[in-house]
Amino acid sequence: MILRARDRRLDLGFRTRLMGILNVTPDSFAEVGRVLDPGAAVAYAVGLARAGADIIDVGAESTRPGSRGISAGEELDRVLPVLEGVLKAVDCLVSVDTSKPEVAEAALALGVHMVNDVTALRAGPAVAERVARHGAGLVLMHMRGTPATMQLDPRYDDLLGEVSASLREAVAVAEAAGVRPDAIAVDPGIGFGKTVAHNLTLVKRLDAFRALGKPLVVGPSRKSFIGAILDLPTGERLEGTLAACCIAAWQGAHILRVHDVAAARRAALVVDAIRAAPEA
Ligand code: HH2
């Protein structure tokens, strides 16, 4: 399987890929990966690329549980100078983590390769239309509710079926808007309107999303379900993150969205080697 993004093709067949997290925010849930100063943010991105990131995902609005969001103007002010610098400084793919069409458009005009939309086009096709016009890639992530409300009482009758159906609909909207079928990846949205048990099931049963026929992105990195198991703060969730990443990769994740690229790279290489080993 490949993921196309502008003139680039990310081959997903032979090894697990890594999306490194860069949050240009004062309030993202984890301190790791949070860099507000533009110069420091670009230097941080260079470090992610050197550590083995295949994609650097730059976000300027935290979507942590309870957050209320920021204006498009504020998001643009934070993200554009950083994207401009990152695009010049690294050779890997660069994505912008936004669900606002005006932010997506400005980032695409600068040359970003992908848009990572954590609302999976809930507000309509505007983001997808812009992605299509630039020939870029698109990640569609499942979220139940909004960041402000999503963790109040998430319930599903059929977790895997409902998340799959919602992603399938979003893919149809994206394709109808003109996004190339091979430029779309999907993500079940760990922590976005999910209980601890839901998150564990999503990682365990990631294989259920293979039927969507799209590259699978998954983002367990340092999230609260790991904290709930280990009773540890975000700064001490690396080992738990790696455990979840290994299971996710084993179950078919093509791209792991992580804060800790160097550590995840080592873990993923071992998973890939085990997968490639002879059966007996
Ligand atoms: N998680 C977060 C943000 N964007 N995108 C995808 N595709 N998948 C995810 O799981 C995902 C995402 C939340 O993590 P983070 O960016 O570290 O925190 P915050 O939203 O507080 O900035």
- The total number of residues shown for the chain amounts to 280
Please tell me the predicted confidence (pLDDT) of residue 66: 85
Specify the pairing of strand 217-218 against strand 8-11: unpaired
Considering only CA atoms, which of 143, 250, 239 is closest in space to residue 198? Answer: 143
- Residue 17 annotated to the active site: no
CATH of residue 44's domain is 3.20.20.20
DSSP sequence for 102-159: HHHHHHHHHT-SEEEETTTTTT-SHHHHHHHHHT-EEEEE--SS-TTTTTSS---SSH
How many Å lie between the centroid of ligand 1 and the Cα of residue 222? 10
Q: Is residue 196 part of a domain?
A: yes
Q: 10-residue block means of pLDDT along the chain (280 residues)?
A: 97 95 94 94 98 98 90 97 98 98 98 98 97 98 90 92 98 98 98 97 98 98 98 98 98 98 98 96
Q: How far apart are CA 119 and CA 144, in angstroms?
A: 9
Q: Is residue 10 part of a domain?
A: no
The boundaries of the domain holding residue 112 are: 15-275
- Residue 275 annotated to the active site: no
Mutation test residue for ligand 1: of 27, 62, 202, the one with most atoms within 8 Å of CB: 62
Q: Is residue 22 part of a domain?
A: yes
As given in the structure block, the two tokens for residue 152 are: 């109040």
Q: Is residue 1 part of a domain?
A: no
As given in the structure block, the two tokens for residue 204 are: 């365990």
Q: Is residue 5 part of a domain?
A: no
Please tell me the predicted confidence (pLDDT) of residue 67: 86
Q: Is residue 181 part of a domain?
A: yes
- Nearest-atom number in ligand 1 for the CA of 191 is 10
- Nearest-atom number in ligand 1 for the CA of 220 is 10
Q: Is residue 90 part of a domain?
A: yes
Q: How far apart are CA 174 and CA 185, in angstroms?
A: 11
Q: Is residue 2 part of a domain?
A: no
Please tell me the predicted confidence (pLDDT) of residue 152: 85
Please tell me the predicted confidence (pLDDT) of residue 140: 98
Asked if residue 219 lies in contact with residue 203, where contact means CB atoms within 8 angstroms, the answer is no
The domain tally of the chain equals 1
